[in-house]
A and B are shown apart, each in its own frame.
Chain A
Amino acid sequence: MSRPLGIIIAVSLVFLVGILQGAMASTKTTVIAEKLAFPWSMAALPEGGFVVTLRGGQLIYVAPNGSKQPIELSLPDLYATAQAGLFEVLLAPDFASTRELVLSYACGSEAANNTCVVKGNLSAQAPYSVINTQNIFTALPKKAGAAHFGARMAWLADDTLLIALGDGFVHREQAQQLDNHLGKIVRIHRDGSTPDDNPYKHSQASQIFSYGHRNVQGLIYDEQRDAIWQHEHGPKGGDELNKIVAGGNYGWPIATYGIDYTGAKVSPFNQLPGVKAPLYTWTPSLAPAGLALYNGDLLVSHLVGRRLQRFRYSHDSWTLTDEYLSELGQRIRAVYTSPDNEVYVLTDSAEGQLIKVELP
């Protein structure tokens, strides 16, 4: 064997081993709680343990030892069926002193529903209950059907709340109309009032922060980079990772990398002038359903993809570097990084689990 060839082979082997190590990066998983019926989101409490939402409408306290207790919660207008139900729980930035949290859920009836958000106070100690619940947002118009509610939320640095919404599936063109909340991300104060510095001033859309979304399932504010990262489901292909800016149009349904489930084109255009292009697209769709920051990296959990992906930041974009948890074979609804920098995921099934994940 000639010397150059040997060097090439040796370098290739080292490179290959590196890739394989990256691809098969080992993770340690610990099941904290199980038999959670379709858990949707979670938050770590400062006193220990977690609050977990179940899509069916229950709020659960999971103690550090994994025991579960229901949390008393009254949502009289909850609509729970198919994709509809109780969605995100988010603790207020000053939760430690105020015990305030916000919850998103599908409200209304089969004939007329959309996404609602309430704020409330979690009692100081177990057995927990949510008291003083007060509606702070109702997405309009109410529409029929139980699909595409969005419902992920994030606090910005100024303590305003972003609420991501869906297009209701059959109303996709409404995502481009600024007189309704379908396919939008809205920004409100915690008391439900509208910030003065939202991008659109007219009364019909004063809460709109960005538009042209299909079904947002991941939303997070990155304090380190002062940026908002988001992902949303495309139809068949075209799931998107986006950087959200005020007033941005994210294209659905006039520009998309996906096609309809029937094979028909939703739009002939992947990109259009005035439309924010995605930073990353998943085709075929992995159905990203959760988004978290971990040591400056993005973690994305997937339903159809049944894995956790890790993205590294460079030059205002994200590069896929690692994949984890495919060995579980589970749909992963959410990924969450606790204030003490531990990573957790929620698996999506009638017997879902809350799993602690130690990443390499």
Chain B
Amino acid sequence: MLRVLLAFIIAVVGAALVGSVMQTQFNLAELTALSVSVDMPTRMNTIVHDLLHFGPVFAAMLVPTLIIAFVIAWLLAKRFVRLERWWFIVGGGFGLATAFLIIDSLAPMPTLIAANRTTLGFVLMSATGAFAGWIFDRLWHPQARELNEELPK
């Protein structure tokens, strides 16, 4: 159980980090498209700000979403064992995409996360759920070859 919990926490944190940094790039890209110059220190400061402020909010979205998605993936994996890794990857991605759609239909604003306003942004932000699925299953049920991987020296 501890292994499951640790794998889940790492999966959520990993997806929150990647998703946060990614949505920052989408927001800054909209500004640079308006001819606003964003230098590297400003970009880094914005990334850090968003990691600290957007990251926890995104993690709070990921937790319930991934619990549901991973339970479904686990049930499917029991039936189709060889596809287990893919069930978690696809489950995480589709689960997060579904969560975005549900949140946007319930929230007063049309799109809660600005990066999700474009199709590319929506797909990539949803893909962080798939990334979480990969991390989770990689840590929970590492494949034989993964266990034999040597640590980099």
Question: Chain A interface (Cβ within 8 Å of chain B)?
Answer: 82, 144-145, 147, 169-170, 172-173, 176, 253-254, 259-269, 272
Contacts and interface: CB of A to CB of B under 8 A. Distances in A.
A176 B35 CA distance: 10
A264 B54 contact: yes
B114 interface: yes
Given A170-B110, A261-B112, 12 more contacts: A82-B108, A147-B108, A170-B117, A172-B114, A176-B34, A262-B58, A263-B57, A265-B27, A265-B46, A268-B28, A268-B38, A268-B43
Interface of B: 20, 23-24, 27-28, 30-31, 33-34, 36, 38, 42-43, 45-46, 49-50, 53-58, 108-114, 117
B110 to A, nearest CB: 4
Contacts of B56: 263
Contacts of B28: 268
Contacts, number: 68
A109 to B, nearest CB: 15
B31 to A, nearest CB: 6
6 tightest A-B CB contacts, nearest first: A263-B53, A264-B54, A145-B110, A263-B54, A268-B46, A170-B110
A267 B57 CA distance: 18
Contacts of A82: 108
Nearest to B26: A264
Given A264-B27, A267-B31, A268-B45, A147 B54 contact: no
A262 B54 contact: yes
Given A254-B36, A263-B53, A263-B56, A170 B113 contact: no
13 contacts: A147-B108, A169-B110, A170-B110, A173-B30, A173-B33, A176-B34, A254-B31, A259-B53, A260-B54, A262-B113, A263-B53, A263-B54, A264-B114
A61 B18 CA distance: 56
Given A263-B53, A263-B57, A254 B34 contact: yes
